[in-house]
């Protein structure tokens, strides 16, 4: 397993994987974010433009093999997401975070949001993504009413977008039998470190949680 380290302040880029393919993608992604003002504080139009330009480069990265080390493709029994789900930090900076999400067969994530634009691409296996929309206005503390707006079968190489306020709440299940599914997340915030939201539609409840990373405190 990768060594667990404390995260440094974000004045400098943090690399957890030494990979020319990932390094090339990060350089391109940061240039695109700077040119489109598509950071987490940008307008919806700016963030959409960022995703439009960035997606083909991300698709090319997903098609490449062997750039993701085996240590970052493993489940994690102590997962902050439960179900043995590994969330492995690959890279992060002020404007960009990249991590792998490893879901054991038939495990499913909690229903959660991300509070940032993002691209999620399947690197290995198959998944089922259930997408939700929030119906209430968020004024009542601890209460959230959701409806399902989509159910998608995701295969290797497929990419889907995260873009608040809509299209940001989902759960993901690995539908592989013998091996975990692995997705790569490219995010405009430090997803594992921030407080975000977990939902229970049956109880119509919402609570804050921090998923953390499997290889960083």
| Measured distance CA(191)–CA(44) in Å, rounded | 19
Query: Which residues are CB-contacts of 107 (< 8 A; sequence separation ≥ 6)?
Result: 83, 84, 85, 173, 174
Looking at the chain, the whole-number percentage of residues with pLDDT higher than 70 is: 93
Residue 47 has a pLDDT of 87
Query: pLDDT value at position 39?
Result: 64
Q: What are the domain boundaries of the chain?
A: 15-209
What's the rounded Cα separation, in Å, for the pair 157 and 205?
A: 34
Closest CA to 162 of 62, 73, 51, 68: 51
Q: What is the pLDDT of residues 25-58, one digit of tens each?
A: 999 999 999 998 766 667 888 889 999 999 999 9
Q: What is the pLDDT of residues 139-189, one digit of tens each?
A: 999 999 999 999 999 999 999 999 988 889 999 999 998 999 999 999 999
pTM for the model stands at: 0.92
Residue 217 to residue 111: CA distance in whole angstroms: 23
Query: For residue 211, what are its two tokens?
Result: 């998923």
Q: What is the pLDDT of residues 177-191, one digit of tens each?
A: 899 999 999 999 999
Residue 103, both tokens? 């879901």
Return the structure tokens found at 210.
Answer: 């921090």
**φ and ψ of 57, to 5 deg:** -70, -35
Please tell me the CATH superfamily of domain 15-209, with its number: Jelly Rolls (2.60.120.10)
């Amino acid at each position: 397993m990768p060594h667990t380290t404390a995260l440094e302040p974000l004045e400098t880029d943090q690399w957890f994987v030494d990979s020319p393919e990932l390094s090339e993608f990060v350089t391109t992604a940061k240039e695109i974010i700077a040119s489109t003002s598509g950071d987490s504080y940008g307008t919806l139009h700016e963030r959409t433009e960022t995703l439009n330009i960035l997606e083909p480069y991300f698709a090319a990265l997903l098609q490449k093999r062997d750039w993701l080390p085996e240590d970052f493709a493993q489940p994690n029994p102590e997962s902050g997401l439960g179900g043995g789900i590994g969330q492995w930090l690959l890279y992060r900076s002020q404007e960009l975070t990249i991590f792998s999400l490893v879901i054991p067969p038939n495990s499913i994530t909690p229903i959660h949001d991300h509070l940032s634009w993002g691209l999620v691409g399947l690197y290995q296996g198959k998944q089922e993504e259930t997408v939700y929309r929030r119906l209430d206005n968020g004024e009542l503390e601890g209460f959230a009413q959701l409806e399902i707006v989509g159910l998608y079968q995701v295969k290797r190489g497929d990419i889907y977008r995260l873009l608040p306020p809509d299209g940001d709440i989902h759960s993901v299940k690995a539908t592989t039998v013998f091996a975990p599914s692995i997705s790569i997340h490219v995010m405009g915030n430090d997803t594992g470190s921030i407080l975000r939201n977990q939902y229970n539609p049956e109880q119509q409840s919402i609570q804050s949680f921090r998923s953390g990373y499997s290889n960083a405190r």
